[in-house]
Amino acid sequence: MSIKIIVKRLLFLVLVIWAASTIVFFVPRLSSRNAIRERFGELARTGGFSPGDLEKLIASMQQQFGLDKPLLEQYLQYLNNVIHLDFGYSLYKYPSTVTELISQALPWTIGLLLVTTIIAFVMGTLLGAVAAWPRAPGWLRAFATPFILLTGVPPVIMAILLVFFIGFRLKWLPLGSAYSVGVVPNWSWTFFFDLMAHQILPAFSLILGSVGAWVLSMRGMGITIQGEDYVNFAEHKGLTGGRIFRDYYLRNALLPQVTGLALALGTVVTSAVIVEGLFGLPGIGSLLNLAIRSNDFPTIYGIVLFITIAVATLMTVLEFVYPLLDPRIRNT
């Protein structure tokens, strides 16, 4: 791969991030809501400010957040902040900065979503590959079937069913939240096991819900590849079944799956909103949900941009990795 292509790809990455940040900047401004006013209105109802003081307070906060300046100036200031990865203070959780909020939430999302996505990918890909391989034993091929059936169940329903039966009825596992009430997070085995017990149900609902899709796409690809001339010729060459499976069948059937994995990693946060909400986990999904509801746009910017940068970077990395997997797209 030439330097020119690498530079081109990196420039494209910057372009994507710029476009995304611009869209993200303007969309919340289309709303007539004012997050500061709403927040103080809330406080006023409970605290008892005098209306005059309240207006002054709001005006001073507007000024502090730069919301009184012309839109263009705000936009340029915002772009400057984006470059420095500084999204300022959260409007809703005021003294905290957006960066702080994201870095607190991120480990939860990565720990659960990233790990389950990769587990589901590996499981689904292998099961799908075996299901489409005519020489695999029947009982092994049948393993894929229940997962294919489960693709019809929406992950939310799956999560609710799991919580109801295993958490509520059988009481084997906790119903939700990140760890037990009263437990202080620390580096001990007790805390670790408590943490893991709380992650099992969300992890299972995510894995059970998504393995089937990987099985289906891999099986579809596998059926095409197993009939390819080069797989037949490999058998004519007298290669062992294992080698044909690995080098001739799996290597080729895997290519679209890798693209699928990159796309799936990009949508990880989308499923996080639902699953984290359902299980009460303090991850990026919950944070985004809260930010949208309170029109806390610095936090929305921060999260959406963070996701955009993550996905775009992932895609760029994939573009550099893909030619290693498929020689046909080198030098293009």
Partner 1 sequence: MSSTIASAQAGSRNATQAFDASGEPPVLRVKNLEVTYYTDSGRAKALDDVSFSLSAGEKMGMVGESGSGKSTMALAMMRMIKPPGRVEGGSVFIDDVDLMALDPKAMRQARLNKIAYIPQGAMNSLNPVMRIGSQMVDAIKSHAPSESRTAIQDRCMHALKSVDLDSSVFGMYAHELSGGMKQRVCIAIGVLLEPKVIIADEPTSALDVVTQRQVMETIDRVQDEINAAVILIGHDMGLMAQFVDKVGVMYAGRLVEVSTVRDMFTDPKHPYSQALISSLPNLDNKGVFQGIPGLAPSLLRLPSGCAFHPRCTKVMDTCPKVRPEVEYLPDGRMVICHLYDEETEH
In the list 70, 134, 137, 138, the residue contacting partner 1 (rule: CB under 8 A) is: 134
Burial of 131 (0-12, 13-18, 19+ CB in 10 A): buried
Interaction between residue 228 and partner 1 (CB under 8 A):
yes
d(CA 191, CA 211): 29
Least separation in angstroms between residue 233's CB and partner 1 is 4
Handedness of CA 164, 273, 280, 295 (dihedral sign): negative
Rounded to 5 degrees, φ, ψ at 97 are -85, 160
Residue carrying the six token digits 């689904």? 124
User: Residue 233 interacts with partner 1 (CB under 8 A)?
Assistant: yes
Nearer to partner 1, 41 or 256 (CB): 256
With CB under 8 A as the contact rule, the residue among 63, 103, 188, 240 that binds partner 1 is 240
Q: How far is the CB of 194 from partner 1 (least distance, A)?
A: 46
- Pick one of 52, 229, 293, 332: the residue that binds partner 1 (CB under 8 A): 229
Distance of closest approach, residue 305 Cβ to partner 1, in angstroms:
36
Residues with Cβ within 8 Å of 294's Cβ and at least 6 positions away in sequence, in order, are 35, 38, 39, 91, 92
Contact status: 71 vs partner 1 (CB under 8 A) = no
Q: Choose between 171 and 328: whose C-beta lies nearer to partner 1.
A: 328
The Cα–Cα gap between 6 and 173 comes to 49
Cβ atoms within 10 Å, residue 33: 10
Quick check: 237 binds partner 1 (CB under 8 A)?
yes
- Residues contacting 145, CB < 8 A, separation 6+: 131
From 97-105, 223-231, 276-284, 294-302, give the range in contact with partner 1 by CB under 8 A. 223-231
Of 208 and 218, CB closest to partner 1: 218
The CB-of-123 to partner 1 minimum distance in angstroms stands at 23
Any residues with CB less than 8 A from the CB of 72 and at least 6 apart, and which? none
Q: Which two structure tokens, joined as six digits, stand for 208?
A: 């059970």
**By the rule CB under 8 A, 256 interacts with partner 1:** no
Q: Is the CB of 56 or the CB of 243 nearer to partner 1?
A: 243
Instruction: Give the residue, chosen from 137, 184, 328, 332, that forms a contact with partner 1 under the rule CB under 8 A.
Output: 328
Cβ proximity to partner 1, 172 vs 233, nearer residue: 233
Give the CA-trace dihedral at 74, 75, 77, 81, to 10 degrees. Answer: 130
Binding residues for partner 1 (CB under 8 A): 134, 228-230, 232-240, 243, 247-248, 251-252, 255, 325-328
